Amino acid sequence: MSHDVAGKPRHRVVVIGSGFGGLFGTQALKRADVDITLIAKTTHHLFQPLLYQVATGILSEGEIAPATREVLARQKNVRVLLGNVTHIDLEARTVTSKVLDRETVTPYDSLLVAAGAGQSYFGNDQFAQFAPGMKSIDDALELRGRIFSSFEWAELASTPKEIDRLMTFVVVGAGPTGVEMAGQIAELSRRTLRRDFRRIDTSRARIILLDAAPQVLPAFGDQLGTKAAKRLAEIGVEVQLGAMVTNVDATGIDVVDSDGTKRRIEAVTKVWAAGVQASELGAQLAEQSGATIDRAGRVLVNDDLTLPGHAEVFVVGDMAALKGYPGVAQVAIQGARYAADRITRRLSGTAPSGPFEYHDKGSMATISRFSAVASIGKAHFTGFIAWMLWLAVHLVYIIGFKHRLTTLLHWSVSFLGRGRSERTVTEQQVFARTAIDQLGSGYAPTLPRVPADNKQPSQSVAQAREEAGRTL
């Protein structure tokens, strides 16, 4: 990949993460005279806003998570590496990543850190065992297994209390993800499944949306939040605000209301959609550079998105704290493109652009089919118009024509009809994460190898061809 000009290697850019920031930043450097190495712990680019549709059987995981290599296949200045970044050495300018038991060290001249964020349980990580978050394909598939399996188990239950426990679904967090998830579980129980069972009436399922805050969708303002809460109630979702979760276990959830009342909700299926925590890499960067991190683990960056004291390191998306910008996809996309432009200008000797400014393109959330809320500038939309806007915007940002087409077909099946094309679930989806956790920290899968594999890796095909061409 690397091309020498008068014996000088090209500028090396390492990008950490294949989410919105990592992918769009990499694509923005397509025509730059640089060699890019994108390192990500998954093989796909995840369109996270549609994870809840994978969890509720509307879309398959492939439609919202195309292979990163496929997306970047035509961009010749990029190399994609699979690996979980475990260490960044700012002094040596290297990134260490690991996949299974193989460790790789990658040097850089410029670094774009877009490792994103995970779910936050606000210091109660033990809740994750019983209430999965909504941050990865694994999370969505596990939740799909739990949701659909709960109805199957309820069909086999022997007592009314057991049926009620299995047919009660609690979603914690009344932000966009929680609202969308609760709305789709309600539609699933009342439209899709209501004719499929003989002993249970799925339309009697209880869907509860919990939040310690006093409002649904607080970032959307009072008016849209109130309308969203009203629509949720109309489709059968119980909205319980001012309710703080104090404990979660296999069969239920304990909460304390704003008046101090303690109560328990019996429910086997819980979804955690409250709070995010930035990647642990943020703390590493802060420790080495002297930068500050906020409560969510985000790095307080300079106005040009660089790490204080390190102009060669850019931090974008959910990992960066700047001017109170929200942790949404557009902030990551715009920030990554800005960072790519700064790198390009620096290499060409062009004057740098001004400080990074986020241009808010609005916020949207679906509630049910044909119903959504949208805030675009000073304009507010609700109902069918907002829902159509939501469809159009999300369809545009899905990567690839093929994925857009299949997504549109699945939406037609689910929203115009009653079907869900992705209802297949397995025991492995439901229990694999817990089973791996029970193996303990001593469990570490390894790559199958023979002794000769420990030697230095041989040349790549591209390197061999390049050297052969020089010889000729």
One domain, residues 104 and 136: no
One domain, residues 290 and 269: no
> DSSP character for 8?
B
471 in any annotated domain: no
Residues labelled catalytic: 180
Residues sharing a CB contact under 8 Å with residue 242, sequence separation 6 or more, in sequence order: 211, 212, 213, 214, 257, 258
65 in any annotated domain: no
Say if CB 177 and CB 216 are below 8 A apart: no
One domain, residues 383 and 243: yes
How many residues in total does the chain contain?
Answer: 472
Exposure of 128 in the CB half-sphere (CA atoms within 13 A): 17
327 in any annotated domain: yes
What's the CATH number where 146 sits? 3.50.50.100
Q: In the sheet that 84-89 helps form, which strands lie side by side, from edge to edge?
A: 84-89, 94-99, 102-107
267, amino acid identity: A
Say if CB 29 and CB 343 are below 8 A apart: yes
456 in any annotated domain: no
One domain, residues 100 and 141: no
Say if CB 39 and CB 26 are below 8 A apart: no
170 in any annotated domain: yes
One domain, residues 389 and 331: no
Coil, helix or strand for 362? coil
Number of Cβ atoms within 10 Å of the Cβ of 81? 15
One domain, residues 161 and 37: no
The tens place of each residue's pLDDT in the chain, 472 residues long, gives 444 444 568 999 999 999 999 999 999 999 999 999 999 999 999 999 999 999 999 999 999 999 999 999 999 999 999 999 999 999 999 999 999 989 999 999 999 999 999 999 999 999 999 999 999 999 999 999 999 999 999 999 999 999 999 999 999 999 999 999 999 999 999 999 999 999 999 999 999 999 999 999 999 999 999 999 999 999 999 999 999 999 999 999 999 999 999 999 999 999 999 989 999 999 999 999 999 999 999 999 999 999 999 999 999 999 999 999 999 999 999 999 999 999 999 999 998 889 999 999 899 999 999 999 999 988 999 999 999 999 999 998 888 888 889 999 899 988 888 889 899 999 999 998 888 888 887 888 888 888 877 665 544 445 544 544 444 3
190 in any annotated domain: yes
One domain, residues 270 and 282: no
Q: CA-based angle 372:378:381, to the nearest 5?
A: 20
For 47-61, the DSSP string reads: -GGGHHHHHTTSS-H
Whole-number Å distance between alpha carbons of 38 and 80: 5
One domain, residues 332 and 223: no
Global pTM?
0.90
Say if CB 363 and CB 375 are below 8 A apart: yes
One domain, residues 203 and 173: yes
One domain, residues 397 and 259: yes
340, amino acid identity: A
17 in any annotated domain: yes
What's the CATH number where 320 sits? 3.50.50.60
One domain, residues 114 and 173: no
User: Into how many domains does the chain fold?
Assistant: 2
Of 316, 348, 380, the last residue of a domain is 348
205 in any annotated domain: yes
Whole domain around residue 301: which residue ranges?
11-41+83-119+277-348
One domain, residues 376 and 408: yes
